[in-house]
Structure 1
Amino acid sequence: MCTHVSRPCASHGLPGAVIGAQCVAAGPSRRKEPVPGPGLGLREQTLETGTEGLRTEAPAHLWRPGLPRSAKIIGCQVQREPPNSTQRYTRWLNQLEPGQLLTQAFTSHGPTVPMPTWFCSRAWFSHVGPFDEGGRGVPEDLLFFYEHLRKGGGVVRVDRSLLMYRYHPAAATHAVLETTIWTLRVRFLEEQALPRWATFTIWNAGRQGRRLYRSLTAESRRKVVAFCDVDENKIQKGFYCHEESQERPKPRVPVLHFRAARPPFVICVKLDLTGGAVEDNLRSLHLREGRDFLHFS
């Protein structure tokens, strides 16, 4: 990965500093101490050659007067090159509502604002950081983002497209295993969301829902009162049996139609894939995201 030392924020009329580096492996430039500067702001600018491009006007838009800064990560919208690549992910990043920047932190998409344009106060970075130095295969942006949320941090998105993502096959992100991301997400869900709920329902009696159930700790599994679905074959079977369990008798979890199930729900169905059917079903129940359901797709 190749990064460049940015001009001081003062050149953009900004009271801060930036993180920059020379050509290095993915990650180390982000983990270095902030470049000394006269103010409180710093910007994460670590760009993979051929992968990301930060527009020159980005700092001024991301760090303009009036934006909340203390204990917040500030990011932006993105565009893709080629334009039609990762369309669902791009729509997700660009169209999340302000509250969803927190409630949708559990999904497989990762951080709700992309890291190359993270801004935060110097003091907050020091409080949350540093970045994980595990090297290739470590999802350091996700780890930092989760730690930021654990410590009560907020997320703000500037609704301007200031970042260009370009695909290339040698990008460091390809070294991160899906199983690594999955394990981190499950643990974060158990730590940050499930303690608020005495019981919950997993929305999806298919592969992803069952995988989540099996990945939970025994304590969390005992909170699962049902699976729900729209597939009549799964509903007619009536239950899911956890065959891998050491318990006797083996746990059997009811499978219900989603209208017969009760919230809160952990949604294990990917959005923006079914012509709006899942979204319509959720809206028909008049639920509130974050209180009555969370997305884990």
Structure 2
Amino acid sequence: MDTSPTKRLRRAEEDGERRGGGEPGEAEERKTVDVSVIMPVHNASCWLEECLQAVFHQDFVGSMELSVFDDASTDDSRKVLESWRQRMEDRGISVVISGHDSSQPRGVGFAKNKAVAQSSGRYLCFQDADDIMLPQRVRLQYETALLHPNSLIGCRVQRLPEGSTARYTRWINSLTQDQLITQVYTSNGPTVVMPTWFCPRKLFRKVGLFDEGGKGVPEDLLFFYQLLRQGVCPIRVDQILLVYRYHERAATHSVTEETIWKLRVDFLQERVLRHWENFTIWNAGKQGRKLYRSLSLIDQKKVKAFCDVDANKIQKNFYTYEESKQRPKPTIPILHYKEATGPFIICVKLDMTGGVLEENLNSLQLKEGTDYYHFN
């Protein structure tokens, strides 16, 4: 029996179509629509009115559906959702709402998979219950998806409250098309952020399901990495189409930095370092050394030097990996960046040096994605 994620998704979708997307026993067959808005919900009642009103006011003229899965909410989220059903349907937006009442939520990945499985759209527009679409979002992303049928489509965002996560928001909105690929190893996560995703259903099937590990699992990052492994190219509509809310209850806060770190290191080794014979780590400080220690033994041996601009670090001449079980212990030279040779893994945070890092990189006339990759 084939139990692959894609097969399971197709069977779930077929079951949903036979049931009409509701409880077992409903015989009405649902029609395919152009776009399904995919919305996982867990205790989101305080945000749902704004979120649903924004879906209602989309200027998209094609057929739309709202597919919601309620992941064991204990507030009145379900009541709010049901209160919008008739208004949505009068507007021509079909509504599918399901969920479970277990004492334990199953997590964002599970809820997204369920919402996709019960939906019928040719295109999927992912929407978090705490965010707000701008009226043109579905239309513009749909038009872009028609031009790029094998891509994941994102957009620029407006952060709410204004000024929160300012560096992160600048990064999201300023990436070039090439950097949507080259900067996937940074600590910021997917270069096309999950709340802005829009894609063909066939692309979702190709990649598979979201990880259903629950709390503490970065299901969006895992899916994004798998998407890149499949050769899918992310694209961004260069307009603000989503108000992206920041708050302490967001699921992303349950994911530890160490979990993200390990996934990033593994993906960097898989996608970049295995193709390089040797390389230099740009940063002889805490983050550069942590990267070195996190590498496999094979990739540690490829590190020919650390480089830096800090005279105190450079004067030490070398770094000794004291915790290594190798004898003699590995010692790695520490050089001034002008004396170092590439390729480089940059372990200095972007937008944190007043432009000095960027000026230094530009002075060496290096090409991102060939001569160096950002890791932090």
| TM-score in same-fold range (> 0.5) | yes
Q: Is contact 1:18–1:43 with CA below 8 Å preserved after alignment?
A: no
Structure 1: gaps spanning 5 or more residues = none
SS of 1:212's equivalent in the other structure is: helix
Please name the residue that 2:210 is paired with.
Answer: 131
Q: Is contact 1:19–1:43 with CA below 8 Å preserved after alignment?
A: no
1:133-166 deviation per Cα after TM superposition (whole angstroms, max 9, x unaligned):
0001110000000000011110100011111122
Q: CA deviation at 1:12?
A: 2.2
Q: CA deviation at 1:46?
A: 3.0
Please name the residue that 1:121 is paired with.
Answer: 200
Percent sequence identity over aligned pairs = 51
Please name the residue that 2:124 is paired with.
Answer: 42
- Cα RMSD over matched residues? 2.2
Paired letter, 2:258: T
1:111 aligns with 2:185: no
C-alpha distance in structure 2 between counterparts of 1:189 and 1:71, whole Å:
24
1:12 aligns with 2:91: no
Please name the residue that 1:292 is paired with.
Answer: 371
C-alpha distance in structure 2 between counterparts of 1:35 and 1:15, whole Å:
16
Please name the residue that 1:174 is paired with.
Answer: 253
C-alpha distance in structure 1 between counterparts of 2:145 and 2:236, whole Å:
13
Please name the residue that 2:11 is paired with.
Answer: none
C-alpha distance in structure 2 between counterparts of 1:56 and 1:30, whole Å:
23
C-alpha distance in structure 2 between counterparts of 1:55 and 1:31, whole Å:
24
Please name the residue that 2:155 is paired with.
Answer: 76
Please name the residue that 1:193 is paired with.
Answer: 272
Q: Is contact 1:17–1:43 with CA below 8 Å preserved after alignment?
A: no
1:30 aligns with 2:109: no
Name the CA shift for 1:42/1:264 in 2 (closer, same or farther; >3 Å): same
C-alpha distance in structure 2 between counterparts of 1:223 and 1:183, whole Å:
19
Aligned runs of 1:1-297 on 2, under 5 Å?
A: 1=42, 2=44, 12-14=60-62, 19-22=67-70, 24=72, 25=105, 26-27=107-108, 28-32=110-114, 33-37=116-120, 40-47=122-129, 49=130, 52-64=131-143, 67-297=146-376
Q: CA deviation at 1:68?
A: 3.8
1:192-233 deviation per Cα after TM superposition (whole angstroms, max 9, x unaligned):
111121111000000000000000000010110000000111
Paired letter, 2:112: R
Q: Is contact 2:154–2:236 with CA below 8 Å preserved after alignment?
A: yes
Aligned pair count?
292
Paired letter, 1:130: L
Q: Is contact 1:209–1:268 with CA below 8 Å preserved after alignment?
A: yes
Bigger proportion of residues as helix: 2
C-alpha distance in structure 2 between counterparts of 1:61 and 1:279, whole Å:
33
C-alpha distance in structure 2 between counterparts of 1:191 and 1:16, whole Å:
39
- Is the radius of gyration larger for structure 1 or structure 2? 2
Name the CA shift for 1:14/1:191 in 2 (closer, same or farther; >3 Å): farther
Q: CA deviation at 1:44?
A: 1.7
SS of 1:102's equivalent in the other structure is: helix
Q: Is contact 2:145–2:151 with CA below 8 Å preserved after alignment?
A: no
Please, what TM-score do these two structures have when normalized by structure 2? Answer: 0.73
SS of 2:70's equivalent in the other structure is: coil
1:69-105 deviation per Cα after TM superposition (whole angstroms, max 9, x unaligned):
3331100001111211111100000000110000000
Structure 2: gaps spanning 5 or more residues = 1-41, 73-104
Paired letter, 1:156: I
Name the CA shift for 1:215/1:290 in 2 (closer, same or farther; >3 Å): same
Name the CA shift for 1:127/1:15 in 2 (closer, same or farther; >3 Å): farther
C-alpha distance in structure 2 between counterparts of 1:170 and 1:288, whole Å:
39
SS of 1:146's equivalent in the other structure is: helix
Name the CA shift for 1:99/1:65 in 2 (closer, same or farther; >3 Å): closer
Name the CA shift for 1:209/1:114 in 2 (closer, same or farther; >3 Å): same
